[in-house]
């Protein structure tokens, strides 16, 4: 199995729901509590496994008028994870059974090497706990048989109001994540680095071209006018 996420950049509206649900679930889960610094002040900080970055794309023939693209980022659960390779204590590891990359909190010494190695900024040093934390793909939810089957999904996926996030097994060619990646030309980030991120992003669709005609050229304008006049007279 190769579990991961598909994220649709066309429908993500940057509402931060995924980031908030992630924080809520994980702060009370296996890696919690997650540190919050100055939570009610102007510059709150702390540990977030999922962050949504927003970019303004300039106007171009492909994006007339420009557009805002919201880009949620968390751990990509890379197949050749740099964070695992550099970890001196073996705290960072990739599970063989499903490919999820985790940190053993008891082995981590908070040296920060994995955070420097990760090109996606997915690692979060919890300065209060002194250990590294990261997205677990909600490993403590997705296998919880006490939950109804439909809810055995990462918190970010369950909460996304626009269904921009899909969870599944990329090793199954018939899974929704595999199908979406195929049909929408999904892509992993920075493939040239060779870490083979599992998560895939679906690019924004091109705006539909709507054919328009000059008002004077509408061929049946006359008959529509007659029909409306007839209706009014009634």
- Smallest separation, CB 143 to ligand SF4 (Å): 19
Return the residue of 5, 114, 157, 180 that touches ligand SF4, per CB under 6 A.
114
Whole-angstrom Cα distance, residue 2 to residue 110?
Answer: 27
CB of 105 to ligand SF4, least distance (A): 9
Q: Check binding of 137 to ligand SF4 (CB under 6 A).
A: no
* Using rule CB under 6 A, residue 138 touches ligand SF4: no
Q: How many residues bind ligand SF4 (CB under 6 A)?
A: 28
Asked if 71 and 8 touch (Cβ cutoff 8 Å), the reply is no
Among 25, 48, 49, 120, binds ligand SF4 (CB under 6 A): 120
- Does residue 77 touch ligand SF4 according to CB under 6 A? yes
- Quick check: 127 binds ligand SF4 (CB under 6 A)? no
- Contact flag: residue 5 with ligand SF4 (CB under 6 A): no
Give the footprint of ligand SF4 on residues 182-221 (CB under 6 A). Answer: 195
- Residue closer to ligand SF4, measured from CB, 19 or 91: 91
Interface residue with ligand SF4, options 78, 139, 155, 158 (CB under 6 A): 78
């Amino acid at each position: 199995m190769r579990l991961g996420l598909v994220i649709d950049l066309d429908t993500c509206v940057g509402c931060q729901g995924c980031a908030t649900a992630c924080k809520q679930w994980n702060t009370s889960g296996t890696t919690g509590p997650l540190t919050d610094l100055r939570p009610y002040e102007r510059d709150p900080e702390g540990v977030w496994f999922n962050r949504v970055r927003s970019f303004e794309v300039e106007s171009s023939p492909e994006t007339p008028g420009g557009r805002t693209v919201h880009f949620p980022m968390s751990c990509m659960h890379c197949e050749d994870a740099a964070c695992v390779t550099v970890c001196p204590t073996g705290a960072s590891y990739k599970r063989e059974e499903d490919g999820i990359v985790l940190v053993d909190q008891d082995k981590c010494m908070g040296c920060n090497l994995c955070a420097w190695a990760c090109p996606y900024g997915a690692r979060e040093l919890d300065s209060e706990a002194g250990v590294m934390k990261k997205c677990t793909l909600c490993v403590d939810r997705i296998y919880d048989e006490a939950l109804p089957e439909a809810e055995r999904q990462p918190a970010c996926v369950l909460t996304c109001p626009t269904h921009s996030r899909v969870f599944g097994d990329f090793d199954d060619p018939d899974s929704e994540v595999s199908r979406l990646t195929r049909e929408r030309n999904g892509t992993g980030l920075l493939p040239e680095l060779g870490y083979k991120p599992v998560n895939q992003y679906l690019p924004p669709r091109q705006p539909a071209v709507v054919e328009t005609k000059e008002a004077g050229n509408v061929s049946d304008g006359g008959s529509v006018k007659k029909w409306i006049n007839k209706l009014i007279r009634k």
